[in-house]
Amino acid sequence: MNNHSSYYFETGRSFGSRILAGIFLVVFLGALFYVGFKIYTLLFWVCPILIIAALIIQPSVVWDHIKNLGKSFKLNPIGGVLQVGLQFIGLPLVSAGLLFKAWAYKKFGQLQNQANQNSFEEKYTPYEEIELDSLNKPKQEEPQKQKQNAYDDLFV
């Protein structure tokens, strides 16, 4: 008994139509990357405006970002250089993120300050001391209730 399976995939298209579809795919992806690169270039030129807007809205956000970059240099100089390189490559996204973060801190910062003040207050939870002797004593039996059905003893 021979169990041999073979699979044959044929699209029914000629070699020329496959080449043409491949060329269209390459042209489409090239156009997509070209448009993306032009948008990235435009955002790269708008970056200073976004950073200045973030400085106007909430200056501490930008300074904290710069301080974090400085801390990364102190911890690991090679990692700091790589991080600054990635920040420069992604500068349009970083500047837009800083602007959004500054806006969010300006809009929602008061709520966070109130929450932080409440969280750092020393609060103690009251508790009740239990004697060890009371834990070892058996509970007093309650008088037996009349059973309504066979399952009442499961839910005490």
Average pLDDT over residues 105-128: 67
Residue 74 CA: distances (Å) to CA of 68, 99, 101: 10, 26, 25
Report the C-alpha gap between 73 and 79 in whole angstroms.
7
pLDDT digits over 91-104, tens only?
A: 999 999 999 999 99
At 67, the pLDDT band (50, 70, 90 cuts) reads: very high
| HEC assignment per residue over 87-140 | HHHCHHHHHHHHHHHHHHHHHHHHHHHHHHHHHCCCCCCCCCCCCHHHHHCCCC
Quick check: 136 pLDDT over 70? Answer: no
